[in-house]
Structure 1
Amino acid sequence: MSANPSPAEQLIALRDPRSPAAEAYRALRTNIQFSSLDRPLRTLLVTSTAPDEGKSTTLANLAVTMAQAEQRVLLVDCDLRRPSLHTLFGLPNEVGLTNLLLQESGDLPAQPTEVPGLLVLTSGPLPPRPADILGSRRMEEVIARLREAADVVLFDTPPVVAVTDAAVLATKVDGVLLVFRAGATRRDRAREARRRLEKVNANIVGVVLTDVQNDSTYDYYGS
């Protein structure tokens, strides 16, 4: 993978499904499924400790593999500060989550992708106080509606150490996945991310470590 991969290159599970990286994302999908046999995860939030650790790319590829396994997947961009899912999937972002939060009824503004079964709800216009919106009762109503529209709903959020958005939303979903980057994520930040999520009683289901070199076999390794 190039140092600065294009959006299309980052969706490796879609562009090169036979690659070791795509297989790692499928392994991640399987691990998540087996970690929640007694209590299936219908809503899953992904966050990191800092920008550029690969959380959005990880979540997008996980969504692709879940859809490829014939699940109805809804990918939601709750990073209302630096949204990126619309760029990864080449979608417009004029209408999205923030519009849905303002309307009481109407069609769900999720957009189809080239992956059958995978819909993306982009961020929409960025609000002045994202944490207040994500922690609102209206957001709980929206999440309930999203659960009805798919088998699994995946939420992308800002880094949990940087702002409170992820911790606020973590109280409203079934599970949280942390993304760390090998050689970049500081241990103190990793501990702080875990502490903040545990403080709100979030259900941390696991950690994904990106950019791991493993005997030249995997460029990405998810566990």
Structure 2
Amino acid sequence: MANKLTTWWQNRKDKSKLDDQSMQKGVSLITVSDPKSTIAEQFRTIRTNIQFSQVDDQLRTLSFTSSGPSEGKSTVSANIAVTFADQGMKTLLIDADMRRPTIHQTFQIPNRKGLTTILTSSKNDYDSVIVKTKVANLSVMPSGPVPPNPSELLNTHKMDQIIEELSEQYDLIIFDAPPVGSVTDAQIIGTKVDGSILVVPQGIALKGAVLQAKDALDSVHARIIGTIMNRVSRKNGTGYYGGYYGGYYGGYYGKNEDKKN
């Protein structure tokens, strides 16, 4: 028991460090920097699982969230966006985590304008806030200035209009949403997208917190299409990925290669 508590506490300390890194430097785009790696292949496996989980109902909008902060949802959403773009889908990644944004740091773009700019403007000037990346078919929308009322902004007809209009321009829109356990933003976004995915880091996320996050999304009738377990310990030099369990698909990528959240 003592060893388990020590490991858990160390994982929480590592999580805090990763949180600071992702806020300052963005997250690791392994699918871009090392596309032939095992981890990049695992992200492509997750993409395939997402596609096959809804064969008869095409997903046009997805949100990635977690039970708590610094659990890897920004890393997962950004890398999954790259894999869809690599497949030829015109993809838009939106930073809807307006309290702790990371996308502008990940892609090294300004954050003076973004989602909050559109939500608070009378005009939907998407060209001024959407940036094409070096990845073919992938564009991003940063969060923009931190507003005093993110939840209220997201829970508006204007947000519905933005999603509807952008869905006509892109094959897939991915939202990097805030953690469910921290604020109501992820629940609100969950009611507006075709599907939500929970990211669960092994050895960090508490079972009770994950169950509460699922219940919170269920309570607003958000459609949870799956969970992704990340930071899985590697055994015998082998990472885990793929496989269905409990009605959800699991995409796993090794802890040793998960440098940033």
Q: TM-score, normalised by structure 1?
A: 0.94
Q: CA deviation at 1:175?
A: 0.1
Deviations 1:123-180 (A, max 9, x none): 0111101111111111101111111121000001110011101001110110000001
The partner residue of 1:90 within 105, 108, 114 is 108
**How far apart, in 1, do the equivalents of 2:50 and 2:27 lie?**
24
The 3-state SS of whatever aligns with 1:211 is strand
- Tell me the residue number matched to 1:105: 123
2:41 is the counterpart of 1:20: no
Deviations 1:109-133 (A, max 9, x none): 2001110100000001111011111
Deviations 1:26-74 (A, max 9, x none): 0000000001111111000110011111000100000001100010000
2:69 is the counterpart of 1:48: no
Unaligned 5+ residue runs, structure 1? none
What fraction of aligned residue pairs are identical, expressed as a percent? 43
- Tell me the residue number matched to 1:187: 207
- Tell me the residue number matched to 2:4: none
Unaligned 5+ residue runs, structure 2? 1-16, 243-250, 253-261
- Tell me the residue number matched to 2:180: 160
Cα 1:220–1:83 shift into 2, 3 Å: farther
**How far apart, in 2, do the equivalents of 1:126 and 1:86 lie?**
13
The 3-state SS of whatever aligns with 1:74 is strand
The partner residue of 1:62 within 48, 66, 80 is 80
**How far apart, in 2, do the equivalents of 1:145 and 1:47 lie?**
23
* Residue pair 2:45, 2:241 contacting (<8 A) in 1 also: no
Code of the residue aligned with 1:84 in structure 2: it is T
Code of the residue aligned with 1:94 in structure 2: it is R
**How far apart, in 2, do the equivalents of 1:8 and 1:84 lie?**
5
The partner residue of 1:137 within 157, 162, 168 is 157
2:54 is the counterpart of 1:33: no
Deviations 1:160-204 (A, max 9, x none): 011101001110110000001100000000100000001111110
Cα 1:126–1:9 shift into 2, 3 Å: closer
* Residue pair 1:211, 1:220 contacting (<8 A) in 2 also: no
* Residue pair 1:48, 1:158 contacting (<8 A) in 2 also: yes
The partner residue of 2:228 within 197, 208, 219 is 208
Q: CA deviation at 1:107?
A: 3.2
Q: Between Structure 1 and Structure 2, how many residues are aligned?
A: 222
**How far apart, in 2, do the equivalents of 1:98 and 1:201 lie?**
25
Code of the residue aligned with 2:198 in structure 1: it is L
- Tell me the residue number matched to 2:239: 218
If you compute each CA radius of gyration, which structure gives the higher value, 1 or 2? 2
Cα 1:106–1:193 shift into 2, 3 Å: closer
The partner residue of 1:173 within 193, 199, 208 is 193
Code of the residue aligned with 1:99 in structure 2: it is T
Q: CA deviation at 1:89?
A: 1.0
RMSD: 2.0
Q: CA deviation at 1:9?
A: 7.1
- Tell me the residue number matched to 2:144: 124
